[in-house]
Structure 1
Amino acid sequence: MSSLPNSGEFLGHPKGLFLLFGTEMWERFGYYGMRAILVLYLVAMTQDGGFGWSNADALSLYGTFTMAVYLTPLFGGWLADNVLGQRKAIIIGGILMATGHFIMGVPHAAVAGMEENVFYLGLALLCLGNGLFKPNISTMVGDLYKEGDKRRDGAFTIFYMGINMGGALGPLVAGYVAAVINWQAGFIAAGIGMVISVVMQLVLSKKYLGDIGVVPAAKLSAAQSSSGTKEPLTKVERDRIKVIFTMSVFSIIFWMGFEQAGGLMNLFANDYTDRMLMGFEVPASWFQSLNSIFIIIFAPVVAMIWLKLDKREPNSPVKFAIALVFLALGFLTMMLALITEGSGQGSIQISMMWLVLFYLFHTLGELCLSPIGLSMVSKLAPLRLASLLMGIWFLCTAVANKIAGFVGSFIGEGQEAMNNAMGIFIGLGATALLSATAMYLLSDRLVDWMHGAEGKHEPHTQEHILAEELEVAAVKQ
């Protein structure tokens, strides 16, 4: 078992927490900064430094990339647990991601004739690095505290706030640099954030984390004996597994719509939105910061609402249904935008406020759904199947990202894109509403199948609920 470091405290928490806070913040800065300009770079004309791809090709690649981002942690987590240990996995993953960012920042002139091959190499390194980094950094937060330490919920609240700060700052900085210099400079700016993350771990981890994460988890638990007998699943366990599968499938619907943000909606902001504000043209990539900003603002509000409702707080399936309703409201907002401001002749330019409302509704939906996911699997899964079922949850999220890219690719080009966009918004909104209705009708049966696990052993305090709401960032790519 890892010994806890004795490096002092800051704001009532171990200083190691703030090292992990900074490590994750700068990594998310790099990732979300890169993601905010990725599709825009792919569709930019070659004379503007881009690849000149069609919207369909760009969104298809985006869907494949974000799918891979969710699949690689399944392998990265296994490597960390059995071979590398969390600390080595984080450092190796961070170096791979930084290298990927910088490779994407190589000027086209320096790799003439091989631009796309070099670009693919950068994306591949980002996927591999993310697989090693993502599943390991969050788990070390809990290792800073002894079992039963009441400060743990507050620690995750602080940690997840750092994730969202990185997610908010990355698109603002990388997007601005890309807009005023060039696309490659934007990727390099993202890479610099990743380098800061790695350097923090290399220089400070020994002092502030001690030996936490050094030894692979499998070796730490090797001393624990097991009976070796494999007992069949009980009826309660089978019912709970049915709940996990059902809600995992419904989560595909939510993430399929939600993940239009970095693809279709990024292009919509770039091509069909009036982004002039007091003489300044707001970079399209800046809208990618809204989700993280809204989480920081509204997570405490949502936590307070659940606390005030107390025993009337909706159960997990009903929260899923509410999330899907918010998803539908986001697409209804865009439908209204096209109806009210898209009826004129020529190029359509809707107000930025429609996009702000779109991201607000989707963030509120995320705050209703995302905290439930990991908590649900950990509460309901039989211990011997916990990792497998957690993998199923992430697999469904990966599938949703690929479907999101496929659906968004039907946007088309030019003026026809508006008619196609309306069709996509209607389709996604209607699917979300139908799914919300189905989930609500199934909610009582699903709660019965949980066999009392709903809300069990969970402190109903504002600090705990706030930690859950902020946990949405932990399952983002």
Structure 2
Amino acid sequence: MTDDKQKILETIPQKGFFGHPKGLLTLFSIEFWERFSYYGMRAILLFYIYYATTKGGLGLDKATAASIMSIYGSLVYMSTIIGGWLADRILGSRSTIIFGGILIAFGHLALSVPGSVPALYISMALIILGSGILKPNLSNIVGDLYSKTDYRRDAGFSIFYAGANAGALLAPLIVGTVGQMYSFHLGFSIAAIGMIIGLIWYALTSRKSLGQAGRYVPNPLTPDEKSKVLTRLGIGALVIIILLIVTITTGLLTINRFTYVVSILGIIIPLVYFIVMYTSKKTTADEKSRIVAYIPLFITAICFWCIQEQGSTIFSEVADSQTKLDFGWLHIQSSWFQSVNPLYIVILAPVFAAVWTKLGKRQPSTPVKFSVGVILSGISFLIMVIPFVLPGNHHAINPLWLVISLLSVTLGELFLSPVGVSATTKLAPAAFASQTMSVWYLTDASAQAINAQLVKFFNFNTEVVYFTVIGIISIIIGIILLLLSKKIHGLMRGVD
């Protein structure tokens, strides 16, 4: 496998994008448009679900809307298992990306047509499957552009991450404004166009810039295995469809029950994955040690994403109903606050990339970076306690509190997220390369599955306790990881 990786590296132009491999621009661009489409849709989806039908929404209550959003986000990241498996066993990463992008585009197009709650679920299902197929494979190919000892690697992932957040920055400003001022469905149409542009760019540039990266299948199915797997998948899909039809039509499967099922899966699926990888005969002794080291990082990342992902649910709800939005002639759209986090990342990611490159071997270890990241996320929630305990601020808080809180969680994100992706590609067992990237995305899936239950506790009377408890728990987890960082780093067996 090492020789194969070296041969692939030799086919990739290693200069051409700010000192990084030329293919980074191709991947940066499709990630930009995919994130534009996804976060454009997310900027208005919560409001579309709970706004009254007279305002063009579906009229569901706020708690249900926030829970649906969390489950939606969880399933998007949970479905990365499918993308990782397809790449590792059948298609390779490059081809899998195309199929994922097409499904995402169709999902956004489905949302662009006025419909009912069932229509919403159909479009969400398409985006969930498409995003899951596409996301892990983009990150996996970024990893293929660099050797494991290349000190440009973390910087490269930070640049790639900046591309994602540039798309996420523009999306709420464009899609959010159109969706809230004119029509939700017109906003969803713009999101669909973004994904289509990204696919066209990827198809035109990938052949020359990516070389053979993503074309190999690390652990291909044999012809006999393919036949068995396809048969089982077909039967499994049919059983699931029948179960859904029966339980939905009989009223057995309600939204609340479904959220509980997904929340449980958010814990069980990662556990099964770690057991399978650790016990596999294809996993070496060093790789098993790295899996053990990865588990506390995984748990810490779940805690971080529990806070970060509430930016599109709890923070959006606070922005929409408890924040001062009018300043003289200027009216701020509540969806615009979702651009704050990516704005910070676009500005700060190059700074972090430059710092990690400058420090080289002297930079903090991965566990230390993770601990700092989750502590900063906890601080961001404690910041949100302040405006709600100040007299006279409860009904219309100053938007600067949201802006300051989002700065803290964004700093934490830059310590943890791009570093986590990079660490995952380095710690992954060779036979589970793409699938291990899916495991990284399961940190977000598990977090949002947990959030589907947490957000039910948030309301006008509980917000101070809510922010305080979750913030303190996050800080405690960060401190524990910091104390264990040297031991964890030793278990990584030479991987920084």
> Fold-level match, TM-score > 0.5?
yes
8 Å CA contact 1:341, 1:350 repeated in 2: no
Report the Cα offset of residue 357 of structure 1: 0.5
How far, CA to CA, are the matches of 1:69 and 1:169 in structure 2? 21
Q: From the superposition, tell whether residues 388 and 105 of structure 1 become closer, same or farther in structure 2 (CA, over 3 Å).
A: closer
State the shift of 1:141 in Å.
4.3
Q: Which of 184-193 and 431-440 deviates more?
A: 431-440
Q: Does the 8 Å CA contact 2:300/2:371 hold for their aligned counterparts?
A: no
Q: CA deviation at 1:398?
A: 1.2
Segments of 5+ residues of structure 1 without an aligned counterpart are: 109-114, 223-228, 412-416, 456-477
| Superposed displacement of residue 187, structure 1 | 0.9
Query: Hey, what does 1:184 align to over in structure 2?
Result: 185
Alpha-carbon distance in structure 2 between the residues aligned to 1:157 and 1:367: 8
Distance 1:218 1:43 in 2: 45
Give SS of 1:175's match: helix
1:359 to 406, 411, 417: 406
Distance 2:484 2:144 in 1: 37
| Correspondence for 2:84 | 77
TM-score (norm 2): 0.77
Query: 1:245 Cα shift?
Result: 1.4
Letter in 2 for 1:331: F
* Counterparts of 1:132 and 1:67, CA distance in 2: 14
State the alpha-carbon separation in 2 of the partners of residues 198 and 389 from structure 1.
25
Q: Deviations over 1:204-237 (max 9, x none)?
A: 5456556654565556999xxxxxx948964x65
Shift of 1:341: 5.2
Q: Secondary structure at the match of 1:64?
A: helix
2:425 equivalent to 1:418: no
What is aligned with 2:118? 117
Q: Which amino acid aligns with 1:421?
A: E
Letter in 2 for 1:279: W
Aligned with 2:444 (options 386, 390, 397): 397
Aligned partners of 2:384 and 2:401 also within 8 Å: yes
Q: 1:220 to 1:156 in 2, by over 3 A?
A: farther
Please report how far the alpha carbon of residue 132 of structure 1 lies from its aligned counterpart in structure 2 after TM superposition.
1.9
Alignment partner of 1:130 is 2:131: yes
How far apart, CA to CA, are the structure 1 residues paired with 2:419 and 2:54?
46
Indicate how the Cα distance of structure 1 residues 192 and 152 shifts in structure 2: closer, same or farther if over 3 A, else same. Answer: same
Compared with structure 1, are the counterparts of its residues 333 and 270 closer, same or farther at alpha carbon in structure 2 (3 Å cutoff)?
A: same
Give 1:24's aligned residue.
31
Question: For 1:419, what is the secondary structure of its paired residue?
Answer: coil
Inter-CA distance 216–376: structure 2 relative to 1 (3 Å threshold): closer
Q: Which segment is superposed worse, 196-205 or 172-181?
A: 196-205
Kindly report which structure 2 residues correspond to 1:290-439, keeping only aligned pairs within 5 A, or say none. 290-303=340-353, 313-340=363-390, 342=392, 348-384=395-431, 390-411=437-458, 417-439=459-481
Change beyond 3 A, Cα 1:378–1:221: farther
1:381-423 deviations in Å (ceiling 9; x for gaps): 5545656655444333311111123212222xxxxx3222222
Deviates more, 1:32-41 or 1:148-157: 148-157
Q: Flag the 1:368–1:147 CA change in 2: closer, same or farther, 3 A.
A: closer
How many residue pairs match? The answer is 433
* 1:128-151 residue CA offsets vs partner (Å, 9 max, x unmatched): 111221122333445567998887
Amino acid at match of 2:446: V
Amino acid at match of 1:432: S
Q: Structure 1 60/204 Cα, relative in aligned 2: closer, same or farther at 3 Å?
A: same
CA distance in 1, matches of 2:371, 2:17: 40
C-alpha separation between the residues in 1 aligned to 2:20 and 2:485?
39
- The residue number in structure 2 matching 1:42 is 49
Q: Provide closer, same or farther for how the CA distance between residues 301 and 39 of structure 1 changes in structure 2, counting only shifts above 3 A.
A: same
| C-alpha displacement of 1:269 | 0.7
Q: Which amino acid aligns with 1:325?
A: I
Amino acid corresponding to residue 180 of structure 2 in structure 1: A
Matched residue, 1:243: 293
Q: Distance in 1 between matches of 2:33 and 2:108?
A: 13
Which residue identity lines up with residue 390 of structure 2 in the other structure? T
What amino acid is aligned across from residue 339 of structure 1 in structure 2? Answer: V
Whole-angstrom distance in 1 between the partners of 2:211 and 2:427: 33
- Write out aligned runs for 1:84-233 (5 A): 84-108=91-115, 115-141=116-142, 156-206=157-207, 213=214, 216=217, 218=219, 230=281
2: CA distance between counterparts of 1:190 and 1:51? 19
Aligned in 2, Cα 1:310/1:208: closer, same or farther, shift over 3 Å? closer
Same amino acid, percent of matched pairs: 39
Residue deviations 1:350-409, cap 9 Å, x none? 011000011100001111222332343444455456566554443333111111232122
Counterpart CA distance in 2 for 1:83 and 1:297 is 39
Contact 2:158–2:353 (8 Å) recurs in 1: no
Q: 1:301 to 1:34 in 2, by over 3 A?
A: same
Amino acid at match of 1:253: C
Answer yes or no: is the 8 Å Cα contact 1:55–1:409 preserved in 2: no
Cα displacement (A) at 1:200 = 2.2
CA distance in 2: counterparts of 1:434 and 1:410, whole angstroms: 21
Partner AA of 1:429 in structure 2: G
8 Å contact from structure 1 (residues 334, 358) kept in 2: yes
SS at match of 1:107: coil
Q: Give 1:342 shift.
A: 4.9
Give, in angstroms, the shift of residue 166 of structure 1.
Answer: 0.8
| Counterpart secondary structure, 1:442 | helix
State how far apart, in whole Å, the 2-side matches of 1:15 and 1:318 are: 31
Tell me what 2:255 maps to.
none
Evaluate the alpha carbon distance shift between residue 376 and residue 93 of structure 1 in structure 2; reply closer, same or farther with a 3 A threshold. Answer: closer
Q: Specify every segment of 5 or more residues in structure 2 that has no aligned partner in the other structure, as ranges.
A: 1-6, 224-279
Q: Which SS does the other structure have where 1:18 is aligned?
A: helix
- Is contact 1:316-1:454 (8 Å) kept? no
* Letter of the 2:409 counterpart: H
Out of 41, 56, 67, the residue aligned to residue 60 of structure 1 is 67
CA RMSD of aligned residues (A): 3.4
What letter corresponds to residue 30 of structure 1 in structure 2? Answer: S
Alignment correspondent of 2:230: none
* SS of residue in 1 equivalent to 2:79: helix
Q: 1:160 to 1:102 in 2, by over 3 A?
A: same
TM-score, length-normalised on structure 1?
0.80
1:443 and 2:444 matched: no
Q: 1:44-73: CA deviations, max 9, x gaps?
A: 111101111112111111111111111112
Amino acid of the residue matched to residue 94 of structure 1? G
